Amino acid sequence: MKKKPVKAIRSDSPITVIPRDQHPISRKDISDNALKVLYRLNKSGFEAYLVGGGVRDLLLHKKPKDFDIATNATPEQVRQLFRNCRLVGRRFRLAHIMFGPDVIEVATFRGPHDQIESNDRNQSHKAQSGMLLRDNIFGSVEEDAVRRDFTINSLYYGIEDFSLRDYVGGMADLNAGIIRLIGDPETRYREDPVRMLRAVRFASKLDMTVEPATAEPIPRLAFLLKDIPAARLFEESLKLLQTGQGYRTYKLLREYHLFQSLFPLIQPGFTQRGDSSMEKLLVQVLKNTDFRLQSDKRVNPAFLFAAMLWYPLIEHAEKLTQEGGLQYYDAFALAMNDILDEQCHSIAIPKRYTTTMRDIWLLQLRLPRRQGKRANKLMEHPKFRAAYDLLELRASIEPRHDLKELVHWWAEFQQSTSPQQREMISDLGNEPIRRRTRPRRVGRARYHRNNG
């Protein structure tokens, strides 16, 4: 459905003021806690505006994920007004107002850091690459507007008169479906390289187009992401791939050469035709994740990452087997450590997820072994279902008859009664199965060392 343009009334100043009767934002769509913060700041003599993604989403008739507030009150002044406030961040000093699980983020208007003469690195500090390491120079709402990243995120809803204020043409871009950086794109990306990922994420999430000047520097500046802490990139990767538009986002990440910075182990496996097993699995797991999220079903990052890294894992395990003369199970255990170590240099996947990834991977080796009591024991494993789902994905992609037969057997086994299950196991007979060699001492020692 085509979005209805919002009317704007221009004043004599650069600001565009959109009065209440000309925009769709209503207080009934804003959280009660955000309204409490806005009203208290305003009644205490401070300017207070709803800003950012909350305003953008309300204008697009979407439900905001959160509500952020901008004010001319300093973080310390905000803390004096709210007993349920805590100050966070060093790079950007912010106030978090806590209402149980609901957190309202309050930021003080940012000023032009490059025009401030200060030797205090806690106020403003920039790395040689141009990245902002500290940015606690405060300013006016007009200065704050041009310090924000994209025009569509720089719209201010005022609680005093319920009007919208647009300082950078954000409303026009919102109506036109354009993602546009405020200021010089290369400078802004160097200040914070994550803005490149945000441009892609918003374009995918909002079904918009990245404006050419905003898009042009991204492929040649993608290398700057290596300077971003791996923990921050993990959080960004979840926003990119696990919010319901993962497949579309993945295509844009590849188009703008950003994917390699996040998943360097996967990039070498891409082919010109995009028809390798790895690429097919990657596409399918992202589409499946999108479908689950759009159906309000839960997803686990561990499964997504386990599927994405499966083919780099087995390729590395086979290499270790051939070059090191190891038994395959030993090589597989070592390969898991190597793959996770390498991936966590880029994206710091927490241990609670890497532990699950290991379980899913190891179960791929165990699922073919069903004789005796093995099948029932496997079904009791807490990660059996996730492992089966990966097996099913692999069978849908790889031209291997044995995999398809294995998936069919497990699907039937899960639906069968106990007597039927015993018969299915009996029907397997005493087919010769290569005994699994226990990991060698060096393999096990390294495995347990890396698992803590």
Q: What is the pLDDT of residues 297-356, one digit of tens each?
A: 999 999 999 999 999 999 999 999 999 888 999 999 999 999 999 999 999 999 999 999
Query: In the structure, what pLDDT confidence band is assigned to residue 430 with cuts at 50, 70 and 90?
Result: low
**SS3 of 108, please?**
strand
Nearest CA-CA partner of 108 in 127, 89, 121 = 89
- Per-residue pLDDT, averaged over 264-292, amounts to 94
Q: Enumerate residues 6+ apart whose C-beta is below 8 A from 121.
A: 133, 134
Q: Regarding beta strands 209-210 and 178-179, do their DSSP bridges make them parallel or antiparallel, or are they unpaired?
A: parallel
Q: Enumerate residues 6+ apart whose C-beta is below 8 A from 192.
A: 131, 132, 149
SS (H, E, C) 239-274: HHHCCCCHHHHHHHHHHCCCHHHHCCCCHHHCCCCC
Nearest CA-CA partner of 252 in 292, 228, 219, 279 = 219
Residue 135 is predicted with a pLDDT of 53
Task: Give the least confident one: 83-87, 95-99, 142-146, 445-449.
Answer: 445-449
Nearest CA-CA partner of 309 in 273, 252, 268, 254 = 268
Q: Which residue has the higher pLDDT, 270 or 4?
A: 270
| 68 in active site | yes
Alpha carbon 66 to chain centroid, angstroms: 16
What region does 104 belong to: left with phi over 0, alpha with psi -120 to 50, or beta?
Answer: beta
- Per-residue pLDDT, averaged over 399-414, amounts to 95
Nearest CA-CA partner of 50 in 60, 16, 36 = 36
Q: How many CA atoms lie within 13 A of 350 on its CB side?
A: 8
Phi, psi of 18 (to 5 degrees): -115, 105
Query: In the structure, what pLDDT confidence band is assigned to residue 122 with cuts at 50, 70 and 90?
Result: very low
Query: In the structure, what pLDDT confidence band is assigned to residue 64 with cuts at 50, 70 and 90?
Result: very high
| 66 in active site | yes
Mean pLDDT of the chain: 88
Contact between 180 and 25 (Cβ < 8 Å): no
Q: Which residue has the tokens 């699950």?
A: 356
Residue 134 is predicted with a pLDDT of 46
- Per-residue pLDDT, averaged over 144-153, amounts to 94
Examine the pLDDT at 74 and tell me if it is beyond 60.
Answer: yes
Ranges of beta strands (E only) in 109-212 are: 124-126, 132-135, 155-158, 164-166, 178-179, 209-210
What predicted TM-score, i.e. pTM, was given to this entire model?
A: 0.84
What is the percent of the chain with per-residue pLDDT over 90, rounded to a whole number?
Answer: 79
Residue 139 is predicted with a pLDDT of 86
Q: Enumerate residues 6+ apart whose C-beta is below 8 A from 84.
A: 97, 98, 99
What is the percent of the chain with per-residue pLDDT over 70, rounded to a whole number?
Answer: 87
Examine the pLDDT at 151 and tell me if it is beyond 90.
Answer: yes
**SS3 of 355, please?**
helix
Q: Enumerate residues 6+ apart whose C-beta is below 8 A from 71.
A: 41, 46, 47, 48, 49, 78, 106, 107, 108, 109
What is the DSSP code (8-state) at residue 28? G
Q: What is the pLDDT of residues 194-246, one digit of tens each?
A: 999 999 999 999 999 999 999 999 999 999 999 999 999 999 999 999 999 99
51 forms beta bridges with 68, 156
Q: Report the sign of the C-alpha dihedral through residues 370, 371, 374, 379, in that order.
A: positive
| 149 in active site | yes
What is the DSSP code (8-state) at residue 226? G
- Which is the catalytic residue, given 57, 144, 149, 173? 149
Q: How far apart are CA 398 and CA 400, in angstroms?
A: 5
Q: What is the pLDDT of residues 8-46, one digit of tens each?
A: 433 344 789 999 999 999 999 999 999 999 999 999 999
